[in-house]
Amino acid sequence: MRNLVRYAAPLAMVWLTLVGCDTLFTEQPPAGEDFESPLDGLDPETARMFAKGDENFEHVFSVDEGVGPIFNNMSCGGCHPGDGRGTPNEALVRFSMGTDLVPELGGPQLQDRAIPGSQPETLPPGADRSLRLPPPVFGVGFIEAIPVTTILANADETDTDLDSISGRPNWVTAPDFVPPTEVGGGPGLQLGRFGRKANVSSLIQQVSEAYHQDMGVTSDFLPTENENPQAGGVAVGDDVADPEIPALTVLETVVYVRFLSPPAQGERTDQVKRGEQLFEAAACASCHVPSMKTGPHAIAALNQVDVPLYSDLLLHDMGPGLADNRPDGSADGYEWKTAPLWGTRIIEDFLNGQVFFLHDGRATSIREAIQMHGGEAQPSRDNFMNLSPQEQDDLIAFIESL
């Protein structure tokens, strides 16, 4: 496979560091109160790479360093404040003409900024526009570590149990640059885990494409500039030799996001406990599965542990109200991956007291987000609406404790 031999050594180097017990860090924020803390038990070399990946994540690229020629933001942290979800101001736009991608007109992601001398993309007339809120990046190492069989155990494509919920996986093809030794890499169809429609199967792909598509920064994995076909493919101003960052920079950033710890759940008050029972009774947990278990892993914190992400990582038809009419992998225009709920408790701490939910951030409260659920989630939405005002508040209090 292309680049496999070339990058086998640095990939092996990264993986061989993932053992040990000590940490490089001398002082941590209060446990579970941020999105930027590493998992426990990282050995000094892995912790060093984590710290370097943290620097990479926050680094703001300049034109002299190769940002562009077209791009959306100038740093990873620019889209993911505090490593959490973004706001509608940072939302990315993906577009298509119905079910057809239109590479001759740009995309699949709209790069709406450009360096001097180049021209940003504009949305082609008649295109279906899909706004995508940048998702949180914490906890993705846990998601990566959940076995395929565990995720598929919750799938029910033909609704054989007649509960109106038919979650299904998004099977995608991994890029050639992702080696088969990586989760989600190799030939054949792979299980999508990342992205709003579970359209990405590996963290190397997720990070490499973020550099390439979001920032216009080429790497050893994606060494060719992303240019605007609407401008005839002509780009002026980006004179930095490609690739603009080495494979190691990408891999350090992969290590960083892989070992970001999700925040802890808040206090389990009596109201929260009542809300948890109502969450189950309303069938919210049918899609927002409270926990899945990871498989064997070299890092103790990821090794066969229960992951309280409150998602099944599967696609669900969410109805016409939330449809974007745009495909991703095998996902259609009505389907979205169940969004994990962990970290809800402290979202507003990183977004100036604001919160944004659903794939495009249109909901600014948990209540609004529930009310907008449709399709397979309509019965759960109706169950919520039939609760008393106090019971609704209890259920919301539970979600806001996660």
Residue 116, in any domain of the structure:
yes
Spatial distance between the Cα atoms of 333 and 66, rounded to a whole number of angstroms: 34
Residues 247 and 278 in one domain: no
For residue range 61-110, what is the model confidence (pLDDT) as tens digits? 999 999 999 999 999 999 987 766 778 888 899 888 877 778 888 888 99
Which positions ≥6 away from 337 have C-beta within 8 Å? 170, 192, 195, 196, 197, 198, 311, 313, 314, 315, 316, 331
Mean pLDDT, to the nearest integer, of 171-182?
Answer: 96
* More reliable by pLDDT, 22 or 201: 201
Residue 322, in any domain of the structure:
yes
Which domain covers residue 238, as residue numbers?
Answer: 4-258
* pLDDT in the model for residue 31: 55
Range with the poorest average pLDDT among 142-156, 184-198, 227-241, 243-257: 227-241
The dihedral of CA 51, 193, 31, 369: what is its sign? positive
- 79 dihedral zone (left: phi>0; alpha: psi -120 to 50; beta): alpha
Q: Where are the beta strands (DSSP E) in 120-273?
A: 128-132, 171-173, 189-191
* More reliable by pLDDT, 2 or 61: 61
Output the CA–CA distances (angstroms, integers) from residue 15 to 79, 106, 295, in the order listed. 27, 36, 16
- Identify the CA nearest to 173 among candidates 186, 184, 189, 197: 189
Residues 218 and 106 in one domain: yes
For helices 389-399 and 270-281, the axis angle rounded to 10 degrees is 100
* DSSP-derived 3-state class of residue 82: helix
* pLDDT in the model for residue 347: 87
Q: Give me the amino acid identity at 125.
A: P
Strand partners, 245: 219
H/E stretch holding 315: strand 315-317
Residues 95 and 211 in one domain: yes
Domain boundary at 217, 234, 258, which? 258
The dihedral of CA 231, 237, 243, 247: what is its sign? negative
Domain boundary at 237, 258, 279, which? 258
Mean pLDDT, to the nearest integer, of 220-249?
Answer: 91
CB atoms within 10 A of CB 401: 19
Domain boundary at 258, 281, 314, which? 258
* pLDDT in the model for residue 32: 64
* More reliable by pLDDT, 247 or 88: 247
Residues 10 and 144 in one domain: yes
Residue 157, in any domain of the structure:
yes
Mean pLDDT of the chain: 89
Q: Is the pLDDT of residue 11 over 60?
A: no
Spatial distance between the Cα atoms of 230 and 1, rounded to a whole number of angstroms: 32
Q: In which residue are the tokens 């977004």 written?
A: 351
Q: Is the pLDDT of residue 2 over 80?
A: no
Strands 315-317 and 70-71: unpaired
Residue 232, in any domain of the structure:
yes
How much is the pTM?
0.90
Q: Is the pLDDT of residue 22 over 60?
A: no
